[in-house]
Structure 1
């Protein structure tokens, strides 16, 4: 019988990260909404590369922040909006243009499975306040307006039919339908956030509504939780864990609670002692940005590197897609998902259901990088930076014999005082990072 939680901090603090979340390693984030229509943001910096002050918010590379990026009254997005749509064209005027006329949720779910993802997180309400599900607390939702479909419900069914876990994102602290003073610096996220008890109740009711209606395996809150209702936080968490036995939440709860911590682009830290998650878009934006074509997105080798480095450091990778307003996933994004899936078909044994190894990532000879994961008594060694068909790599401090997960490679091992010397034949650059399995190697 599963544990029943009560609405106290002592009770919910007993919750542990479920095994499925620790083992799944790779998920798909989806930012899709009204902001997908203008699909505009300047290409500036990764989050965390510069201070999140006025310079950041007036040059915001996040297309999903378009509402605020024109609300600040200056900068590239504001100038673009005035030139293309005019001063009297409001953000909400984009809504009738978002029809999702070519959306096929089952095709999305099939793609996510082929990409090797094990879970999906959909933005059910971003900061603009528009709900991607039929909420009983507002008519500002996708069944009443825009697509006129239950996007959350349809995608949840499709994702689960492919054997994947379904998670939901909710903007807990910010809703520009309630308070829309422009945000110029990081502290404005909290200082200008919805200050009323009315919104605190509204957001609480909607979060509980999402839990009761869709039973999300991940509840991914963003920015924070209204100060006016912090006392209700442990009750919400207890209710969620009681409804969803293997549920898990992130760390954006005013610093009061988390199951796992988050790193977004360069903001946040990896943590080998505690579960964490890296989230990022394929470009600099989460929402679809027409300024980010194939050449501006993360390359396939860099994407595989990001997954391996994240998993070897005890993290999960939550990789975002930004669909077009018609419901299609841009070809350049789909291409990367399929390439990652193809790599995981060969090397996934060293990724899924592994744990953080005692061996730290290191650079071997010739600039070759080594990453490590572990599973029971076996050690998995990822080798990045091979450039020739025949390679010799020393893996320091590791002894035993290794086999490759790629049957087209030929591997020979030799024990030395320094560690395992591995000769690899048959490598080509399309294999990217290769994985060796060392039995009883941990």
Structure 2
């Protein structure tokens, strides 16, 4: 071996395992802000396909009123609307009590990043992080770009930074989500849109509303810049600040990323990918709708899923609340069986779940949510081998449950499954196939599963040599014929949420 070759080998060893685990493209490539260059980045690395479950949370000054929805900051300025009326009844006129007055009330007194990281880990999450900035324009990190940030006011703590440290200690990948593309005020010159909700800006605009302020600092909260180009630079600077300061493994974008000019988006992507190369990370960008090409990003379907297996890794973000993302006083939460069964359906179709919790303004994640998270975590403790690192079978499963359209595309995340609904996954090495019953089948029942019988093309990857019930030592009776497969449910205590049988393959 030549001396120069020896130096190269030693140098590679010394870079450490994390950098050696990168994909080949990130080892050797510097990304330019154009589609051809960015497409060389692997959209979904192996770690994400293996992870299956992540967690995040909607939390900020909008959590203080605990009323309506996370769109409270917008709706409170819509004169005559129900939120506006409620706000003025409880806090006074918006001219005297604007959204900025909630910030000192957003104390986060009970925020404990170590305890939260433990909670996410026990739930089974493999990546986690905060809504870094919602539409309201308030940053949850220690920002030098945005004066309206959690380290400078309100909690006076670096929420994102502290949590990232706690997550990294537990080898949990980090996530930052950005929703602030909609924060930019785009209606100042369109009188027909004044005072109304929507039209691509979070805060309604009217010359008589506080959101039209010319105050140099306050206008940044409302995204009310002199020009939209100035706002677009502000948007990019904040994302780049988080990327370069905190190095998230995954950044996720809410709808309306399309409002940011393509050139600016490409600059954002190249900066993020190059930062990943520099830090030895296989980073991921997740977007909704068609806001970035799937050549180098993955798709998210809000509160939903897919109706069939998708060839590449995708994501759904769902919330424990029945419909709300932030903490709302008295709002109901989904049951653990509903959440787990719908997550299994996602996993069987090559998807990853991003699960949202809703802390109170003081930093308490209430017991109702914790009870559901505990059930999810306990279930994954027993059945996790059928989930983590798994891949789809040739079909996702079968059963009588009817697919319902989701409000954001795909199918709903609130389908009511039963034990007659069956889903499949396969281990990466194809040495095991897992059969999920989305409920509690009757003990002693002999179930025919023609979908994986020898007559069909959906048979397991190789012959079955044994069948076991995860979490049980009971013997399982089974028969695999040339036309069908028969499984007898053992007479043992079964899980009310879902039950998984492992088919050991030759």
Q: TM-score band, normalised by the shorter chain? A: 0.7 to 0.9
Is the aligned partner of 1:298 residue 2:298?
Answer: no
- Paired with 2:443 and 2:151, the residues of 1 have a C-alpha distance of 55
- Paired with 2:505 and 2:114, the residues of 1 have a C-alpha distance of 41
SS of the residue corresponding to residue 388 of structure 2 reads coil
- Paired with 2:440 and 2:335, the residues of 1 have a C-alpha distance of 17
- Given the superposition, is the C-alpha separation of residues 291 and 178 from structure 1 closer, same or farther in structure 2, using an over 3 Å criterion? farther
* Cα distance per residue 1:349-401 (max 9 Å; x no partner): 11111112112321179961110111122211101233533332222232534
CA-CA distance at 1:168 after TM superposition: 0.3
**What's 2:248 paired with?**
216
CA-CA distance at 1:428 after TM superposition: 4.3
* Cα distance per residue 1:147-181 (max 9 Å; x no partner): 00111110000111122101101124122689796
Preserved contact between residue 305 and residue 316 of structure 2 (Cα < 8 Å) = no
CA-CA distance at 1:338 after TM superposition: 1.0
**What's 2:396 paired with?**
360
Preserved contact between residue 317 and residue 353 of structure 2 (Cα < 8 Å) = yes
- Paired with 1:226 and 1:435, the residues of 2 have a C-alpha distance of 41
- Paired with 2:478 and 2:54, the residues of 1 have a C-alpha distance of 34
SS of the residue corresponding to residue 381 of structure 1 reads strand
- Paired with 1:311 and 1:290, the residues of 2 have a C-alpha distance of 32
- Given the superposition, is the C-alpha separation of residues 381 and 78 from structure 1 closer, same or farther in structure 2, using an over 3 Å criterion? same
Q: Give the TM-score normalised by structure 2.
A: 0.76
CA-CA distance at 1:189 after TM superposition: 6.5
- Paired with 2:81 and 2:59, the residues of 1 have a C-alpha distance of 23
| Structure 2 counterparts to residues 335-374 of structure 1, below 5 A | 335-363=371-399, 368-374=420-426
Is the aligned partner of 1:19 residue 2:32?
Answer: no
- Paired with 2:308 and 2:134, the residues of 1 have a C-alpha distance of 25
- Paired with 2:54 and 2:171, the residues of 1 have a C-alpha distance of 13
**What's 1:415 paired with?**
480
- Paired with 2:157 and 2:367, the residues of 1 have a C-alpha distance of 24
- Paired with 2:99 and 2:232, the residues of 1 have a C-alpha distance of 24
**What's 2:319 paired with?**
281
Query: Which has the greater radius of gyration?
Result: 2
Preserved contact between residue 272 and residue 356 of structure 1 (Cα < 8 Å) = no
**What's 1:120 paired with?**
128
Which ranges in structure 1 are unaligned for 5 or more consecutive residues?
A: 42-62
Worse-superposed segment, 172-181 or 240-249: 172-181
- Aligned pair count? 417
Q: Give the TM-score normalised by structure 1.
A: 0.87
Which of residues 101, 105, 110 is equivalent to 1:102?
110
Q: Which has the higher contact order (CA 8 A, sep 6+)?
A: 1
| Structure 2 counterparts to residues 127-276 of structure 1, below 5 A | 127-175=135-183, 184-185=197-198, 196-225=228-257, 227=259, 229-244=261-276, 245-252=281-288, 255-258=291-294, 259-266=297-304, 272-276=310-314
SS of the residue corresponding to residue 117 of structure 1 reads coil
Which ranges in structure 2 are unaligned for 5 or more consecutive residues?
A: 1-23, 189-193, 206-222, 402-417, 454-463
- Paired with 1:393 and 1:250, the residues of 2 have a C-alpha distance of 40
| Structure 2 counterparts to residues 31-42 of structure 1, below 5 A | 31-41=58-68
SS of the residue corresponding to residue 433 of structure 2 reads strand
Is the aligned partner of 1:321 residue 2:357?
Answer: yes
- Paired with 2:305 and 2:398, the residues of 1 have a C-alpha distance of 23
- Paired with 2:119 and 2:421, the residues of 1 have a C-alpha distance of 30
